[in-house]
Amino acid sequence: MSKPIVALTHPVTNPASPALLEAITGLVSCAAAAILAIDPSRLAARNKADRSPVTAADLASQATITAGLARIAPSLPLVCEEAAGQPVPSRLGPTFALIDPLDGTREFIGGRDEFTVNVAIVNDGVPILGVIAAPALGLIWRGLTGAGAERLRLAPGAPPGNASERAVIAPRPVPAKGLVAAISRSHFDPATRAFLDRLAPTSRLECGSALKFCRVAEGAADIYPRLSPTSEWDVAAGHAILAAAGGVVTTPDGRALTYGRSTEKFIVPGFVAYGDPRLAGTF
């Protein structure tokens, strides 16, 4: 397992700080390396209670991230996918981290490159910081409220200062015609299909994991609907990045999407991510 790279010399106190964003980017980079160190063809996956798979790669990534966060933000409560079913921290508080150590485990097992590592910081129900790595692509997307969003080309395991490319990202304005919708490769449900049918003519960009948020945030797609239940840790990092880039994420009926619903087992009933906020609520 990769040793976490920690960019801070003292524990963080400001959850919306660029220093924390940099440190978490380093942790996510190390988690990406931990995943790639494991050969998916030799993995023995087991199914969790919800029938989703989990592997040693998921656990290696989570261990890397949680160990690093324990050093740089020791008082920050962590809500992690692979700890689901275990007791939630008794004092979750207004600020906490949502972690999906390997989003798109099916894609990883299947040898596809559409899997990610997702980490978000939530404050008062709103994701204010998000980092998503695509280990097989050598890319990281990140965003911070009030500071914008960017995409880094970074070798897994390398510190963010070693990025070979760095680009500010933003959604594209509503096109005159030809909306592009990002859709799930593995979870394309009938309600989402019906929603998209109302948008016709629309081209569809199919991919796995939280990459769909990233494609909307960088202007490669205009909208990403998911009208079936999913977990907060699948959504929060992408929500933070898209919001920092200038987009918006709402519930299907247009209300604010909030996080930290421990009594509902951190389930999001559905959402729609819009690149251009002018699209929100128009369908």
Q: What is the CATH number of the domain that holds 252?
A: 3.40.190.80
What integer best gives the mean pLDDT of the chain? 88
Identify the three-state secondary structure at position 53.
strand
Q: Is 174 inside a domain boundary?
A: no
Q: Which spans in 73-147 are helix H?
A: 105-109
Last residue of a domain, one of 117, 136, 169: 169
Q: Do residue 146 and residue 198 come from a single domain?
A: no
Which tens digit of pLDDT belongs to each residue from 29-71? 999 999 999 987 776 555 444 546 678 899 999 999 999 999 9
pLDDT band, very low/low/confident/very high, at 114 (cuts 50, 70, 90): very high
Q: Give me 178's structure tokens.
A: 């030809």
Q: Is 3 inside a domain boundary?
A: no
Q: Give me 163's structure tokens.
A: 């990025």
What would the mean pLDDT of 3-21 be, rounded to a whole number?
60
pLDDT band, very low/low/confident/very high, at 1 (cuts 50, 70, 90): very low
Q: Which residue has the higher pLDDT, 57 or 92?
A: 57
Q: Is 12 inside a domain boundary?
A: no
What domain count does the chain have? 2
What would the mean pLDDT of 227-244 be, rounded to a whole number?
96
Cα-flanking dihedrals φ and ψ of residue 277, to 5°? -55, -20
Q: Is 7 inside a domain boundary?
A: no
Q: How far apart are CA 31 and CA 182, in angstroms?
A: 26
Last residue of a domain, one of 169, 196, 213: 169
What would the mean pLDDT of 73-78 be, rounded to a whole number?
89
Rg (CA), the chain: 17
Q: Do residue 110 and residue 22 come from a single domain?
A: yes
Q: Is 92 inside a domain boundary?
A: yes
Q: Do residue 100 and residue 165 come from a single domain?
A: yes
Query: Please, are residues 34 and 61 in contact by the beta-carbon 8 Å criterion?
Result: yes
Instruction: Please name the residues in contact with 233: beta carbons below 8 A apart, sequence gap of 6 or more.
Output: 79, 80, 81, 98, 99, 100, 103, 118, 120, 266
Q: How far apart are CA 46 and CA 86, in angstroms?
A: 18
Q: Do residue 185 and residue 158 come from a single domain?
A: no
What was the pLDDT predicted at 216? 98
pLDDT band, very low/low/confident/very high, at 6 (cuts 50, 70, 90): very low
Q: Do residue 130 and residue 202 come from a single domain?
A: no
Phi-psi region of 184 (alpha: psi -120 to 50; beta: other; left: phi over 0): beta
What was the pLDDT predicted at 281? 73
Q: How far apart are CA 194 and CA 118, in angstroms?
A: 28
Query: Please, are residues 156 and 36 in contact by the beta-carbon 8 Å criterion?
Result: yes
Q: Is 9 inside a domain boundary?
A: no
Q: Do residue 222 and residue 89 come from a single domain?
A: no
Q: Do residue 27 and residue 165 come from a single domain?
A: yes
The number of residues in the chain equals 283
Residues 258, 268, 53: CA angle, nearest 5 degrees:
135
What was the pLDDT predicted at 8? 38
Q: Do residue 59 and residue 164 come from a single domain?
A: yes
What would the mean pLDDT of 162-185 be, rounded to a whole number?
94
Q: Do residue 99 and residue 238 come from a single domain?
A: no
Last residue of a domain, one of 151, 169, 187: 169
Q: Which residue has the higher pLDDT, 282 or 130?
A: 130
Q: Do residue 119 and residue 156 come from a single domain?
A: yes
The full 3-state SS of 147-204, as one line of letters, equals CEEEEEECCCCCCHHHCCEEEEECCCCCCCCCEEEEEECCCCCHHHHHHHHCCCCEEE
What CATH number is associated with residue 156?
A: 3.30.540.10
The amino acid that residue 96 corresponds to is F
Q: Give me 105's structure tokens.
A: 């485990």
| Res. 96: pLDDT tops 50 | yes
Q: Is 66 inside a domain boundary?
A: yes
Q: Which domain holds residue 228?
A: 179-279
What was the pLDDT predicted at 39? 86
Cis peptide upstream of residue 201 (ω within 30 degrees of 0): yes
Phi-psi region of 125 (alpha: psi -120 to 50; beta: other; left: phi over 0): left
What was the pLDDT predicted at 193? 86
The reply to whether the predicted model has a pTM over 0.75 is yes
What was the pLDDT predicted at 282? 73
What was the pLDDT predicted at 202? 80
Q: Do residue 60 and residue 132 come from a single domain?
A: yes
Residues 190, 267, 278: CA angle, nearest 5 degrees:
65
What was the pLDDT predicted at 10? 42
Q: Do residue 117 and residue 186 come from a single domain?
A: no
Cα-flanking dihedrals φ and ψ of residue 30, to 5°? -65, -35
